[in-house]
Structure 1
Amino acid sequence: MKNQLILITGGSSGIGKAAAALLYDQGARIILQARDPKKLETVAREIDPTSKKVSYYSTDLTEQEAVENTANEILVNEGLPDVIINSAGAGEWLSLKESDASYYKSSMDSPYLATAYTCKIFFDKMQERGTGQFIIINSAASYFAFPGATGYTPARWAMLGFAKSLQADLYDTKFKVSLIVLGKVDSPYFKNNPVSEERIPKIANWLTPTMSVESAARIISSSIKSKPNVVVRPFMMSIFVFLNRFIPGVFSWLMRITSYKK
């Protein structure tokens, strides 16, 4: 990890922040990217009071031009990242009845378009070097469907498809794509979206433990070293994902009967 340059989107809080702190302690140079400049500055100074190995860039990751402009700044000021961790994500869990039409675009803007823009724009700049690693943080919702999340779940399915497509597209190259799929993580996301938390199917809450952001950060660190194709955690969630391939009807039924009912 020593002296690797690692860009982390969504680095001002939650999983991104925890990963930044751990990877910094392991010797990496960190670039934080998110929308809120004050939060970014606070986190950067908290991790590295000297400001020598942690930098930050305020960016609206849902805007292609903003991502391109910031990428050019990063290239000039910091250099070309070795690893890009895509952990930016948003999206409240709403039903079809509760939502308006704009909800579906905003749900897809982040995380999917933010991740696609970031990977594409930096890949274009990495090609001359010929190596790099993209880590895509996704939700276990990408393998299931349940009531009350008609924008969030499709966006996470899009993230799953994008990661798998990147792996196929870059298979014979020295670029590595690691998909990290997580169950519920005790992050600010659910504190900021209490409506979403109550809609997690109870079967998931009963049988899979809530992960800490520090646990998620350790998984990310391990993935930089081992470069796996897919990691699903916690372990019980990986069992659910595996079984869902063979008995999807059973899991659809379990999700429906244990899900939020207004």
Structure 2
Amino acid sequence: MKINGKLAVVTGASRGIGAATAILLAEKGAQVILVARSEGDLLHVATRIRQAGGIAYIVASDLADAASTRSAAQAILQNHGVPDLLVNNAGAGRWLFAEETPEGEEDVMIALPYLAAFRLCRAFLPGMLSRRSGMILNVNSPASLIPWSGATGYAASRWALRGFAEALRADLHGTGIRVCEVILGETSSNYFKANPGSYLRLPKLAKFFPLLTPEEAAWYIVKAVRQNRSTYTAPFLLAVNRFFLGLMPGLFKTISWKSDFPHP
């Protein structure tokens, strides 16, 4: 997709990968709509974009909530029109065993990322289909390829997001609308600070992969958009592992499970 002049919606855009992606898309000439819960953080990112000469709008919304998501989508359609690009980046969820998960927290984990992505696509697809163009890009985790122990709800929600991308791809074949899934390795963020103990559950194999910065992650996302990719996995070592996982899934699962966080 040619990015210059396009209207792009980026969720989870208040910090980290989402903010870096919005900034880079704006640098490439897109008009960006930043969506996240924190209006103050969104304003900070939008100000950076505007000071650099870009065009940015903000929509503060709790995408874990169906009504809030619906209102955000309606505001975007009424004020800006149908987006050319939807980047579903918003996500949530602590790494916990099923029995450790507090009542109700599983609802938030399935809402972000899966239900938020589903609801936004439902809102924007009629316009995209009428126009017969557009791209939906889901940012996902390696947990959607091979789950690790101690992150049950988190991994299940990422599998839901991946399944949604595959189902959408089948639905939209021949319509002119592209569906892309970008799977990124560990990226520097405040996630582990905000979720104490989760880093201990990171698979040992994952610690051999280089740590991405949000800017590097954004570069891969924008590359996938510009190349009209269906899937993109980064960094390179993770892509290699994904290739061999497809060839020898049983062996890779055994190796992964042996290096995973043990159940107490």
Q: TM-score, normalized by length of structure 2?
A: 0.93
The answer for the alignment partner of 1:128 in structure 2 is 130
Please list every run of at least 4 consecutive aligned residues from structure 1 whose deviation after the TM superposition is greater than 3 angstroms.
Answer: 49-52
- Deviations for 1:89-109, whole angstroms, at most 9, x for unmatched residues? 010000123223423222111
The answer for the alignment partner of 1:246 in structure 2 is 247
The answer for the alignment partner of 1:116 in structure 2 is 118
2: distance between equivalents of 1:2 and 1:220? 15
The answer for the alignment partner of 2:170 in structure 1 is 168
Aligned partner letter, 2:9: L
CA contact (8 A) 1:14 1:189 kept: no
The answer for the alignment partner of 1:98 in structure 2 is 100
User: Helix, strand or coil for the counterpart of 1:176?
Assistant: strand
1:189 Cα deviation from its structure 2 partner = 2.4
1:126 Cα deviation from its structure 2 partner = 2.5
1:79 Cα deviation from its structure 2 partner = 2.4
2: distance between equivalents of 1:225 and 1:51? 21
1:44 Cα deviation from its structure 2 partner = 1.1
How many residue pairs get aligned? The number is: 261
- Deviations for 1:148-204, whole angstroms, at most 9, x for unmatched residues? 001100111111111111111111110001110111111232332242222110111
CA contact (8 A) 1:146 1:252 kept: no
Q: TM-score, normalized by length of structure 1?
A: 0.94
1: distance between equivalents of 2:247 and 2:55? 47
User: Helix, strand or coil for the counterpart of 2:178?
Assistant: strand
CA contact (8 A) 1:134 1:176 kept: yes
Cα distance change of structure 1 residues 172 and 182 upon mapping to structure 2, 3 Å threshold: same
- 23, 26, 45: which one pairs with 1:24? 26
1:239 Cα deviation from its structure 2 partner = 1.5
Aligned partner letter, 2:242: V
1:76 Cα deviation from its structure 2 partner = 2.3
2: distance between equivalents of 1:66 and 1:51? 30
1:28 Cα deviation from its structure 2 partner = 1.1
- 57, 62, 71: which one pairs with 1:55? 57
- Deviations for 1:29-74, whole angstroms, at most 9, x for unmatched residues? 1100011111111221122138971010011212232222222211
Aligned partner letter, 1:199: R
User: Helix, strand or coil for the counterpart of 1:81?
Assistant: coil
The answer for the alignment partner of 1:209 in structure 2 is 210
1:134 Cα deviation from its structure 2 partner = 0.3
Tell me the C-alpha RMSD between the 2 structures: 1.7
The answer for the alignment partner of 2:41 in structure 1 is 39
The answer for the alignment partner of 1:138 in structure 2 is 140
Percent identical residues = 35
Aligned partner letter, 2:235: P
Cα distance change of structure 1 residues 194 and 48 upon mapping to structure 2, 3 Å threshold: farther
2: distance between equivalents of 1:37 and 1:81? 21
- 178, 181, 184: which one pairs with 1:182? 184
1: distance between equivalents of 2:159 and 2:100? 21
- Deviations for 1:239-261, whole angstroms, at most 9, x for unmatched residues? 21121223222222222222223
2: distance between equivalents of 1:192 and 1:164? 31
User: Helix, strand or coil for the counterpart of 2:220?
Assistant: helix
1: distance between equivalents of 2:204 and 2:15? 26
The answer for the alignment partner of 1:156 in structure 2 is 158
User: Helix, strand or coil for the counterpart of 1:113?
Assistant: helix
2: distance between equivalents of 1:90 and 1:120? 21
* Unaligned segments of structure 1, at least 5 residues: none
1: distance between equivalents of 2:108 and 2:155? 13
Aligned partner letter, 1:117: R
Q: Which moved more, 1:247-256 or 1:116-125?
A: 247-256
The answer for the alignment partner of 1:231 in structure 2 is 232
CA contact (8 A) 2:129 2:177 kept: no
